[in-house]
Structure 1
């Protein structure tokens, strides 16, 4: 059994295994990462896509990453019978009035299995698979036997919409849409070897390796910040009408802990949540929704979000505009309205209503004392300082992402690029808001001032509450 001192060696071994899994398969690197991670966590993967997209090639390679146990593979059709998966009935057992199967060499005896066209089987087979996939147990006659199953990779062209299929679909923690190779990589596809090969892997994992990894995974901590974000996501999924069972949430957290353990981390990182779309979304559309939700929040606290900061800056800009437009009536020392011919705001001669009396008013732009202006500029200075701290925090998150993505075995490079672009955009947006805040400060500094007197302190500018 490997020891904790060889943790980094396991990480290097996993990197080499990942290279072997995806070697020669164009645009299947992320799929290989997901399938292997699911197996390390003791979970199952489902590849969903049209024929001829290397689903079976990738699934068949997975068992080469493990040195112990048997491999089982079967293509199901609507005519498939339970004997094809679970083994033939035992004649000798029947003679003794026992209904048992010979499971050696079949799915209950396998550690890694590939089941192609999983949803083409009838409901009897799918129901029998439910317990085997989830509890690793198989009802054989009057008894229930433990199965050595590590992971099943399923493949299908489409997921049917019925109750039995939905329950079976939920047993696959990783739901991985597979598309044909993109136009940009088409030439590479044509130049790739036609023989994907089944040569033994140079690196393989033993049951002792898996047991040690499980013990390390159990010690990984999930920070409160990650738990809080998962809670927010759960509420968001309700609004997206994406259904996620409690069992799946528990399995997802264990998968996140496994990802951290394989990289010798004591805590789950918020960037590990990039794995969630494939675990929570049932199809490409829902997975895209979840990924977008995560990109809007990973590395960006609510108080740092540009929309919220924009509202705060706009509150100061609106206050400045109001103070610039404010007018006061001008009275002299005796309390009489001060005016001159050039200062009349308006003059009305009303011969009919007041014996030709003149009605005169005079307004001037409001002037502010030093106390008022200093209070306003101090408020903006506090805002600018807070924005500077936020900018530094987002920049630190971008650097943390860069380090994580470089070291991570499991992060999808496309998600890492999208997250990096989102953080860079946030940094630019915060910088623009800082400039607007500086302009508002200059505006408060330039307010018309009282000729004498310090004035009074104003009420603070009202804006959304925020966290530091």
Structure 2
């Protein structure tokens, strides 16, 4: 795995720390940043959408812009006010310092509540990475914009705008099985993982360049098969979404440290299905194509969208490694023992030990040793 992929994998691990059932959001933000695409997160209020994005943005570094849109949000609140000095000279230009046009990572909450003026200007930034308003013409350094909303819009005009967000992640309340973990983390809310030394944007940009040069020839036929299956299953996919899905496949390969994409990377395709039901259908119709999928950097997302044994094993190895790092070398407390036992139960429930991947077998041995020490 390349040094840049390792750096981003470590950043993703830090971003996931303290997130409960929102690890997928953090990972897909990075996937989209490498792919040069945008992400839409849909979920009810209070489901930690913004927290997951902020933690990931903290780790990526660079200039960050966040705003909660409303019906009466003025374009100047997003793109910057008129430059009064230039206006006195007869030129309508805008001061964009600290605003969205100069951001490298952006988060727009309640994105569909923006006015027509806001959304029309935003389209140029999302599509072309260019800000045009008055006499101002600015090339935008935006790597990824994350939009969030409580639900998908019914208005066809807004649906067309939503189509500019290639990837979709739908979040619901934390399941009962993880409520104890949520309560523990929530009690210590406010503590975030330490920021990395300097911005990781150079590493991210190098991975983006590697993704653009990724060899897709070996997997393009499988992608064609997958897209046809999705359309036959009633998943609405425009030609634009089908073509741009290749960027997610290439980014997944780059984050896994490879220069050529394989069937292991097709787990990203359900992300482009536009609705929750469509994503469920996509997982089902692509199950045989992505059964062996995995990703060393995006372990939770690969498991969520592939639902395969390899991806699940990768996630359990990662979870075990993180747990052992947290436990250290001292004696286990009662709560620590319960956490180790829970991980062991999940391993044993999902795998026949003799058939489990070697890395998972080794992790199980380490966890048993931790219990017995």
- Please indicate, yes or no, whether the TM-score normalized by the shorter chain is above 0.5: yes
How far the C-alpha of 1:223 sits from its partner, in A, is 3.4
How far the C-alpha of 1:66 sits from its partner, in A, is 2.5
Considering Cα pairs closer than 8 Å and 6+ residues apart, tell me whether 1 or 2 has the greater RCO: 2
Q: Say whether residues 1:88 and 2:75 are aligned partners.
A: no
Per-residue CA shift, 1:89-119, capped at 9, x if unaligned? 1222222222221111111111111111101
Matched residue, 2:7: 13
Give the TM-score of the pair, scaled to structure 2.
0.76
> What is the aligned residue count?
309
Report SS of the residue matched to 2:249.
helix
Q: 2:234 aligns with which of 235, 241, 250?
A: 241
Change (3 A) 1:59 1:420: closer
Contact conserved, 1:44 with 1:151, CA < 8 A, in 2?
yes
Per-residue CA shift, 1:44-75, capped at 9, x if unaligned? 1111000111101011122212233x211111
Matched residue, 2:298: 409
Change (3 A) 1:111 1:407: closer
Give the TM-score of the pair, scaled to structure 1.
0.62
Matched residue, 1:35: 29
Q: Say whether residues 1:165 and 2:54 are aligned partners.
A: no
* Distance (whole Å) between structure 2 residues aligned to residue 406 and residue 164 of structure 1: 36
Q: Within 5 A, what are the aligned runs for 1:42-191?
A: 42-68=36-62, 70-191=63-184
* Distance (whole Å) between structure 1 residues aligned to residue 10 and residue 102 of structure 2: 28
* Distance (whole Å) between structure 2 residues aligned to residue 136 and residue 63 of structure 1: 19
How far the C-alpha of 1:287 sits from its partner, in A, is 0.3
* Distance (whole Å) between structure 1 residues aligned to residue 114 and residue 9 of structure 2: 36
Matched residue, 1:282: 274
* Distance (whole Å) between structure 1 residues aligned to residue 129 and residue 115 of structure 2: 21
Contact conserved, 1:66 with 1:204, CA < 8 A, in 2?
no
How far the C-alpha of 1:286 sits from its partner, in A, is 0.1
Change (3 A) 1:407 1:63: closer
Contact conserved, 2:38 with 2:167, CA < 8 A, in 1?
yes
Q: Which has the larger radius of gyration?
A: 1
* Distance (whole Å) between structure 2 residues aligned to residue 204 and residue 252 of structure 1: 31
* Distance (whole Å) between structure 1 residues aligned to residue 98 and residue 135 of structure 2: 21
Contact conserved, 2:270 with 2:279, CA < 8 A, in 1?
yes
* Distance (whole Å) between structure 1 residues aligned to residue 170 and residue 127 of structure 2: 22
Per-residue CA shift, 1:431-451, capped at 9, x if unaligned? xxxxxxxxxxxxxxxxxxxxx
Matched residue, 1:291: 283
Gaps of 5+ in 1: 1-6, 300-400, 422-468
How far the C-alpha of 1:251 sits from its partner, in A, is 2.2
Report SS of the residue matched to 2:280.
helix
Contact conserved, 1:87 with 1:104, CA < 8 A, in 2?
yes
How far the C-alpha of 1:417 sits from its partner, in A, is 4.6
Return 211-220 or 196-205, whichever deviates more: 196-205
* Distance (whole Å) between structure 2 residues aligned to residue 113 and residue 209 of structure 1: 18
